């Protein structure tokens, strides 16, 4: 089962998984979406790989690293989180509400679209 983490809870989740490695936020949105809005990497590494190319680029991710998946509202990122979990990634979370919730809960300077 994939952990659901609201953006406002992400910092606490990152603290709990840091003993397992340097945490990553995996943004699975498309390039055009990244141009509209993006998050600042504070306390984590930000990796952007669109959902559709995760399978062929899976080797770019370390299954030992904690990974929190992010998309627009949380649906695509949940699918990617489940995909990763099924392939042996141990510390995986979905950022519930996506970047839309990130804007309202953490950083209102992130544009909503």
Active site residues: 71
b/e code 63-101 from CB counts within 10 Å (16+ = b): eebbbbbbbbebebbbbbbebbbeeebebbbbbbbbbbb
Contact 95, 25 (CB under 8 A): yes
> What is the CB-side half-sphere exposure of residue 4 using CA atoms within 13 A?
9
């Amino acid at each position: 089962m994939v952990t659901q983490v609201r953006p406002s809870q992400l910092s606490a989740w990152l603290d709990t998984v840091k003993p397992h490695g340097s945490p990553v936020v995996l943004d699975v949105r498309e390039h055009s979406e990244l141009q509209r809005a993006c998050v600042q990497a504070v306390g984590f590494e930000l990796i952007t790989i669109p959902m559709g190319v995760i399978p062929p680029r899976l080797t770019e991710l370390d299954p030992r690293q904690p990974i929190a998946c992010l998309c627009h509202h949380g649906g695509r990122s949940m699918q990617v989180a489940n995909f990763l979990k099924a392939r042996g990634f141990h510390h995986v979370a979905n950022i519930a509400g996506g970047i839309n919730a990130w804007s309202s809960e953490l950083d209102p300077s992130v544009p909503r679209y």
